[in-house]
Amino acid sequence: MAKYFKIFEIGYLILAIILIVESVLMWNSEPNKAYIFLALSVLAVFMYFFRKKYRKRFEKHERKE
């Protein structure tokens, strides 16, 4: 089960990288959209760390039982 959690963590990082690249590319043409993409990338990075912490807590709980 923890293997799937790790895959989703990596997915959030990939999503953040894609959103950052897209926001840099559209910075001059559509700045409002670029700000939204940057905000979503920050959210994706936050979700990465949140999921990582949750996965480690889950693994620690599984080892105790």
Say whether pLDDT at 65 is over 70.
Answer: no
pLDDT at 1: 66
Give the residue with greater pLDDT, 51 vs 2. Answer: 51
Give the residue with greater pLDDT, 2 vs 62. Answer: 62
- State pLDDT tens for residues 4-62: 888 999 999 999 999 999 999 999 999 999 999 999 999 999 999 999 999 888 888 87
CB atoms within 10 A of CB 55: 18
| 3-state DSSP assignment of residue 34 | helix
User: What is the extent of the structural domain holding 15?
Assistant: 2-64
pLDDT at 4: 85
Number of domains in the chain: 1
Angstrom distance (rounded) from CA 25 to CA 64: 48
